[in-house]
Amino acid sequence: MCIISNSEYTQNVSEIDKLLQQNVGQDLLVRLKNNMTVQGKLKKFDQHLNLSLSNGITNFKEKNEEFEETLLRGSNIMIISFSRYTHSDLEK
């Protein structure tokens, strides 16, 4: 088990907050615990890593669905990519 101090935890949360803040309005790709991927523009986020995305697409079991807005619960998120990756890139 890895034990971190409060100051280390606060620093990590601060870095995640900065990274998300820098990417508001940008496209991101999210993989959820159920292996669904969601790609869209980051609108908002909170301290629990709940994400609000717009103008995107979901991919689950090779079926794509477009959405105008969606909310992802932070506890269901496994991976967030702020780069140019697409759904098919995560399958490799």
pLDDT band at 88, cuts 50/70/90? low
pLDDT digits (tens, 9 = 90+) for 18-69: 889 999 999 999 999 999 999 999 999 998 899 999 999 999 998 999 999 9
Rounded CA separation 90/47 (Å): 26
- What is the structure's pLDDT at 2? 47
- What is the structure's pLDDT at 10? 56
- What is the structure's pLDDT at 77? 94
Domains parsed from the chain with CATH numbers: 27-90 (2.30.30.100)
